[in-house]
Amino acid sequence: MKKQWKIVWSMIVVIGLLAGCSGGSGGSSGGEASGGKTVLTFWGDWGGEGQEQIQTMVDAFNKSQDKIEVKYALQQDVVTKFLTAATNGGTPDVVFWDRWRTALYAPKNVLHPVDEYLERDGVNKEDFYEEALKELTYDDKLYGLPLTVDARALFYNKKMLKEAGLEPPTNWDELEAAAKATTKWNGTKLETAGLSMGDPGLFNMYLQQAGGTMLTPENTMNVNNEKGKAVLDFWGRLLNEDKVYKIGFEDGLGEGTDAFVTGKVAMLYTGPWMLSTYDKYGKDLEYGIVPPPAGPNGDKGSVMGGFGLVIPQGSKHPEEAWEFIKWWTANKDNAVLWAKTSLNMPGFKPAFEDPFFADDPKWIPFMETLEFAKTRPTHPGYSVMEENAVIPNLELFMQNKQSAEETLRLSQEQGDKQLKENAVAR
């Protein structure tokens, strides 16, 4: 997802920023090295540990052959610099790409389609998640290959659920029961929240579980209906009747404190990007993971996110750029190397046959979730609509400042306005 690698790694007292934590030089658009190799410039915005992980793959590729040399150049604002370079020259050859941006920038003719390369080299689209490919597609043209995939699943504190005599929840009723049973109040002070509910951005996931969708097939808002009402009724009951969470609870624990690691939250939705943090800092934390519980009619839902590799339209070496992308994303051994290096789930499905995934129970719930997870709609204005129309109204609802009916009505009206105003990428 677009904010995942901007996530603050949770420590007990200190936060370390993994993405974009240091500056980077621009770099040239590629050329010939002294040894006759074609030099590719590769731009991305992962710094810190993320940069080291990317460099591991770049080094492995460079050692695997003697015709191409890739150089990674860290960019703090990779999209702005990329668009500037596309206009003024100096375009890189490969970009580490948050996939949701494709619908925004493919219409600007700054990305190079890769369909002909796939067909020529026999790369099978079925080896990749269909939803991830969809997110890299615009106007029936594919603009890259998925590098990572992710989706939120439900993390739970094993000890707390065991003490409550409950199994991990599989549906909303069981989720509510588990949240109620694990919540602890001391008078008016919340000591342990049964379920983290501080992120209104999860509405899309809950809406899928209610059997709904954010947009209609005609790309208009689709939230002011019974499916949307079911989500807000569920949220309202959890917050106001069951009192399993208090808005602002996690923020009030102190900067750098992770509520799940410290046992202040019994359950929360998060993704595989948190596994290493919980394993490293949660020495006394026994946790399990299950796919997101199904909604009232058995519908499943989670939102798929992740990154890809794309070739800019202005690349001077698109063929060589494709060779690098294919090597990294469409080869089982290299996809597994990337997974072991970064603890990311690769976009190449055959990699999940490797024991690294197949024999580790913590990966299995995510693999199951990815089978039904959906990417965000590819409308150019979707992210603006969600950020400026839906989430602010949801926040008012969760703060008891706005009714469910008013929240859905305003989200629908303001959302349609944002979609219309941003139908064409600027």
Give the tens place of pLDDT for each residue, 189-230: 999 999 999 999 999 999 999 999 999 999 999 999 999 999
* pLDDT value of residue 319: 98
What is the percent of the chain with per-residue pLDDT over 70, rounded to a whole number? 91
Q: Domain residues for 134?
A: 4-150+305-370
Residue 426 located in a structural domain: no
Q: Are residues 69 and 79 in the same domain?
A: yes
**In the structure encoding, which two tokens stand for residue 247, read together?**
């808005």
Residue 272 located in a structural domain: yes
* pLDDT value of residue 235: 98
**In the structure encoding, which two tokens stand for residue 101, read together?**
């941006």
Q: Are residues 299 and 310 in the same domain?
A: no
* pLDDT value of residue 79: 86
CA–CA separation, 390 and 411 (whole Å): 5
Could you tell me the sign of the dihedral formed by the alpha carbons of 214, 215, 216, 220, in that order? positive
Q: Are residues 335 and 189 in the same domain?
A: no
* pLDDT value of residue 19: 35
Q: Which residue has the higher pLDDT, 86 or 43?
A: 43
pLDDT band at 425 (very low <50, low <70, confident <90, very high): low
Q: Are residues 40 and 137 in the same domain?
A: yes
Residue 170 located in a structural domain: yes
User: Which H or E element spans position 397?
Assistant: helix 391-398
Residues 116-126: what's their mean pLDDT?
97
Q: Are residues 140 and 222 in the same domain?
A: no
CA–CA separation, 126 and 108 (whole Å): 28
**In the structure encoding, which two tokens stand for residue 224, read together?**
């002011």
CATH code of the domain covering residue 109: 3.40.190.10
Residue 179 located in a structural domain: yes
Residue 79 located in a structural domain: yes
Residues 79-98: what's their mean pLDDT?
89
Q: Are residues 281 and 360 in the same domain?
A: no
Residue 102 located in a structural domain: yes
pLDDT at 86 over 60: yes
Q: Are residues 310 and 227 in the same domain?
A: no
| Residue that is last in its domain, among 330, 352, 370 | 370
**In the structure encoding, which two tokens stand for residue 14, read together?**
């200190």
pLDDT at 423 over 90: no
pLDDT band at 2 (very low <50, low <70, confident <90, very high): very low
Residues 379-388: what's their mean pLDDT?
92
CA–CA separation, 43 and 86 (whole Å): 13
Strand, coil or helix: what is 374? Answer: strand
Strand partners, 19: 46
CA–CA separation, 411 and 214 (whole Å): 11
* pLDDT value of residue 30: 52
Please give the tally of structural domains in the chain. 2
Q: Are residues 111 and 143 in the same domain?
A: yes
Residue 321 located in a structural domain: yes
Q: Are residues 190 and 250 in the same domain?
A: yes
Question: Angle at which helices 332-342 and 318-329 pack, to 10 degrees?
Answer: 70
Residue 227 located in a structural domain: yes
Distances (CA, A) of 17 to 20, 128, 378, 399, 421: 8, 30, 29, 29, 34
Mind listing the pLDDT tens digit for each residue in 266-314?
Answer: 999 999 999 988 988 888 899 999 999 999 999 999 999 999 999 999 9
pLDDT band at 389 (very low <50, low <70, confident <90, very high): very high
pLDDT band at 243 (very low <50, low <70, confident <90, very high): very high
Among the listed ranges 4-13, 60-69, 155-164, 170-179, which one has the minimum average pLDDT value?
Answer: 4-13
Distances (CA, A) of 137 to 103, 235, 412: 8, 34, 26
pLDDT band at 31 (very low <50, low <70, confident <90, very high): low
Q: Are residues 183 and 145 in the same domain?
A: no
Mean pLDDT over all residues of the chain? 91
Q: Are residues 40 and 103 in the same domain?
A: yes
What is the percent of the chain with per-residue pLDDT over 90, rounded to a whole number? 80
**In the structure encoding, which two tokens stand for residue 387, read together?**
């950020």
* pLDDT value of residue 172: 98
Q: Are residues 242 and 255 in the same domain?
A: yes
